[in-house]
Amino acid sequence: MRISVLTLFPEMFSALEHSIVGRAIKGNLINLNLVDIRDYSKDKHKRCDDYPYGGGSGMVMCVQPIYDAVMAADPEHKAKRIYLSPQGKLLNQEIARQLALHDELLLLCGHYEGVDQRTIDLLIDEEISIGDYVLTGGELPAMVLIDCVARYVPDVLHSGDSVEKESFSDGLLEYPQYTRPEEFMGLKVPDVLLSGNHKLIEQWRKQKQEEVTRRKRPDLFK
Ligand SMILES: C[S@@+](CC[C@H](N)C(=O)[O-])C[C@H]1O[C@@H](n2cnc3c(N)ncnc32)[C@H](O)[C@@H]1O
């Protein structure tokens, strides 16, 4: 999968060089194309933001450099073009799964007061939010989206079924997990998990999924 990210702060994406996503990028399972919007500014000082028409506080990202950057990164509109925005559709597991079906994504990160509305009108297929709060920029949301989409890209996760058995995959949260040692500070691993009886373990896990979901996310359980 190819993911182009349009940003004023490409260096922030060094966070993706590590762990599972880093391995996926190094192994070419994900081709991350970082595009510095500033490179496309026609302003002699390479400015990419200006005062809002109509007044008000803050600066707005200008349409011209973003337009040219999108045209360079995705000239034939092969990518699904997404603007990370607090006004967008709330990201969830199902949206991530659907996005992973695309061969190409283009993610636009806003900053300051956001982007000139004509950017969205001319270029963007969908706005996606990572939650009902406002961040300073779209870079962290883009990294969140890349991380959760990457988990659905074939071969990114070694264990094929781990995306299928996690929280939200079947509408419930995941059951509690334990690993060695069998006892720590007086707390023991539940006997059933040591029993080797797979049927009983399955039953216990299902029951725990329901208990945990009812307690932590009654809205989901409904
Ligand atoms: C300070 S925000 C702009 C907020 C905008 N003025 C508004 O009130 O809707 C700057 C940028 O951060 C990003 N951003 C902030 N919060 C976000 C969220 N919850 N989800 C996705 N992107 C977000 C967007 O790219 C946005 O353009």
Q: Is the CB of 134 under 6 A from ligand 1?
A: yes
d(Cα 117, Cα 220) in Å, to the nearest integer?
35
What is the Å distance from ligand 1's center to 144 Cα? 14
- Among candidates 166, 69, 67, which has minimal Cα distance to 118? 67
Q: Is the CB of 27 under 6 A from ligand 1?
A: no
Q: Please tell me if the domain spanning 2-150 has the same topology as the one spanning 165-222.
A: no
d(Cα 110, Cα 49) in Å, to the nearest integer?
11
Find the DSSP H helices in 81-197: 93-99, 117-123, 139-150, 191-194
What is the Å distance from ligand 1's center to 135 Cα? 6
Contact of 91 with 133, CB cutoff 8 Å: no
**Site of tokens 């883009």:** 142
Contact of 62 with 37, CB cutoff 8 Å: no
What is the pLDDT averaged over residues 92-114?
Answer: 98
Q: Is the CB of 138 under 6 A from ligand 1?
A: yes
* Residue 160, pLDDT above cutoff 80: no
The torsion angle over the Cα atoms of residues 162, 163, 164 and 165, rounded to 10 degrees, is 50
0.85 cut: is pTM over it? Answer: yes
**Site of tokens 């995306």:** 163
What is the Å distance from ligand 1's center to 174 Cα? 30
Q: Is the CB of 110 under 6 A from ligand 1?
A: yes
End-to-end CA distance of the chain: 36
Q: Is the CB of 113 under 6 A from ligand 1?
A: yes
Contact of 119 with 81, CB cutoff 8 Å: no
* Residue 185, pLDDT above cutoff 60: yes
The pLDDT assigned to 161 comes to 57
What is the Å distance from ligand 1's center to 85 Cα? 5
Q: What is the mean pLDDT of the chain?
A: 96
User: pLDDT tens, 55-88?
Assistant: 999 999 999 999 999 999 999 999 999 999 999 9
The pLDDT assigned to 162 comes to 72
3.40.50.970, 1.10.1270.20, 1.10.150.20, 3.30.420.40: which CATH number matches 165-222? 1.10.1270.20
- Among candidates 105, 81, 115, 86, which has minimal Cα distance to 8? 115
Assign 15 a pLDDT band (cuts: 50, 70, 90). very high
The pLDDT assigned to 164 comes to 76
What is the Å distance from ligand 1's center to 89 Cα? 12
State the DSSP string of 41-80. Answer: --STT---EEPPTT--SS-EE-HHHHHHHHHHH-TT--SE
Domain layout of the chain by residue ranges: 2-150, 165-222
Query: Which helix (H) or strand (E) segment is 208 a member of?
Result: helix 198-216
Kind of pairing between the strands at 60-61 and 49-50? antiparallel
Report which ligand 1 atom has the smallest distance to the Cα of 109.
Answer: 25
Which residue lies with its CA nearest to atom 17 of ligand 1?
Answer: 86
The CATH class of the 2-150 domain is alpha beta
Q: Is the CB of 52 under 6 A from ligand 1?
A: no
